[in-house]
Amino acid sequence: MSETQQQHRHFILNKPFGYLSQFVTDAKKKKLLGELYDFPTGTMAIGRLDQDSEGLLFLTTDGKMSEYVRGRKVEKEYYAQVDGVITEEALAQLRHGGIEITHEKQVYHTLSCKAIKLDPAPIFPERSRRVRDDRHGPTSWVSIILTEGKNRQVRKMTAAVGFPTLRLIRVRIGNVLLGAMATGEVREVSHFDL
């Protein structure tokens, strides 16, 4: 490993609900990643999780590493809590692909993916704002594994098949698992295990 590569630093984070996956914004009163940890100057998120999403996020000071991770067809696994009890028909639609979503003002058709209902439901700590309670009807959880990553893609996909996402948590990128990381926990790593 060259001296330049050794100077770069890499991190994994369990991003909490309500934080933007960035360090600077013009928006007022937004929670940013720099509030969670004293990251070195030049740290960037590899890919993003929207403000309402939680879970595993990679960060690095190495732009080449960022391009490498984003350029590979790395699996990303999400657990989505959806409105209603998801049907096998909806799961089949997700798996098949071809779901029409809008990405950057253009129509995009999703690739095939893996999608299964999680039963029993996974257990996660309560987030800072409750999803809702049982008075509003049942919910269910689904695992969705993608190799692509359009803006708010999982949310758009589940809504398109009739089961809007209420809570979204990324639990895996490549071989790296969220596991028992606490909400807001940051770990420095020597590399990303893809």
pLDDT score at 2: 47
C-alpha neighbours within 13 Å on the C-beta side of residue 153? 26
CATH number of the domain at 64, please.
3.30.70.580
Residue 185, in any domain of the structure: no
Calculate the average pLDDT of the chain.
Answer: 92
**Can 50 be counted among the known catalytic residues?**
yes
If asked whether residues 80 and 168 sit together in one domain, one would say yes
Whether residue 4 has pLDDT greater than 70: no
Residue 126, in any domain of the structure: yes
Domain that holds residue 61: 3-71
Mean pLDDT of the region 92-107: 94
If asked whether residues 25 and 103 sit together in one domain, one would say no
Q: Which tokens go with 8?
A: 């770069």
Mean pLDDT of the region 78-106: 95
If asked whether residues 62 and 140 sit together in one domain, one would say no
If asked whether residues 140 and 101 sit together in one domain, one would say yes
Residue 124, in any domain of the structure: yes
CA dist 92 and 98 (Å) reads 11
Residue 142, in any domain of the structure: yes
Mean pLDDT of the region 112-140: 89
Count of domains observed in the chain: 2
Mean pLDDT of the region 97-122: 94
24-28, 77-81, 90-94, 186-190: segment of lowest average pLDDT? 24-28
Residue 181, in any domain of the structure: no
Tell which phi-psi region holds residue 33, choosing left (phi > 0), alpha (psi between -120 and 50) or beta.
alpha
| Residue tagged active-site, from 26, 38, 50, 52 | 50
- Please say which residue of 49, 71, 93 terminates a domain: 71
pLDDT by residue (tens digit) across 142-184? 999 999 988 899 999 999 999 999 999 999 999 999 999 999 9
